[in-house]
């Protein structure tokens, strides 16, 4: 009987999963960036010419007892801020994800630049039947509806409403 190289199998699986996680993260952040750019084109046609400011940075956040390492995206319009934190455990001491998750994200809103953003949605990245990954709303430890561009636009509209 031939002995398997379990370490090599593990490293190959981890690399493949990390590629899927990166693709999921990039879809989420690229989609938000594009929605902000589209909104800015419309906003610049208005008399006051106030646009959405965006930015991102490397970031770590906690989900229960697990540390997520990844990125935080922020979009500010006037005095409201939408933040999206996205990541996954990247070191053994970070812990692990449950519920078949590959990554997690948290969408938060601040009604004022002086106030800490409050979570309004938790998201979970999961593999789907095709082998690709998709974001889902995660509420009460249950995966819900799939995240779409329309849903992301609803989150963004929270900072644009008067």
pLDDT on residue 54: 96
Element (H, E) at 124: strand 118-127
pLDDT on residue 108: 97
**CB-based contacts of 159: which residues, under 8 Å, 6+ apart?**
52, 75, 76, 77, 78, 80, 81, 82, 109
Q: For the chain, how many helices (H) and strands (E)? A: 2, 7
Closest CA to 56 of 71, 46, 42, 44: 71
How would you write the pLDDT of the chain (162 residues) with one tens digit per residue? 456 788 888 888 889 999 999 999 999 999 999 999 999 999 888 887 789 999 999 999 999 899 999 999 999 999 999 999 999 999 999 999 988 899 999 999 999 888 899 999 999 999 998 989 999 999 888 889 999 999 999 999 999 986
pLDDT on residue 2: 59
| Backbone φ, ψ for residue 85 (5° rounding) | -100, 135
Closest CA to 102 of 86, 119, 118: 86
pLDDT on residue 1: 44
Pairing verdict, β 133-139 and 80-88: unpaired
Element (H, E) at 20: helix 6-43
Q: What is the dihedral of CA 63, 69, 71, 75, to 10 degrees?
A: 20
Domain boundaries, the chain: 6-160
Cβ atoms of 87 and 95 closer than 8 Å:
no
Closest CA to 72 of 59, 87, 54: 59
């Amino acid at each position: 009987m031939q002995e398997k190289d379990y370490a090599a199998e593990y490293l190959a699986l981890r690399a493949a999963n990390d590629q899927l996680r990166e693709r999921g993260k990039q879809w989420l952040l690229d989609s938000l960036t594009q929605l902000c750019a589209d909104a800015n084109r419309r906003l610049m046609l208005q008399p006051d010419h106030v646009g959405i400011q965006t930015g991102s940075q490397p970031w770590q956040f906690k989900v229960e007892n697990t540390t997520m390492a990844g990125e935080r995206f922020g979009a500010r319009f006037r005095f409201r801020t939408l933040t999206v934190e996205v990541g996954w455990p990247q070191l053994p001491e970070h812990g692990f994800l449950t519920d078949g998750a590959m990554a997690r994200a948290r969408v938060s809103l601040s009604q004022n630049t002086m106030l800490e953003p409050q979570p309004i949605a938790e998201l979970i990245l999961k593999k789907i039947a095709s082998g690709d990954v998709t974001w889902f709303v995660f509420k009460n430890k249950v995966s819900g509806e799939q995240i779409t561009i329309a849903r992301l636009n609803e989150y963004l509209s929270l900072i644009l409403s008067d």
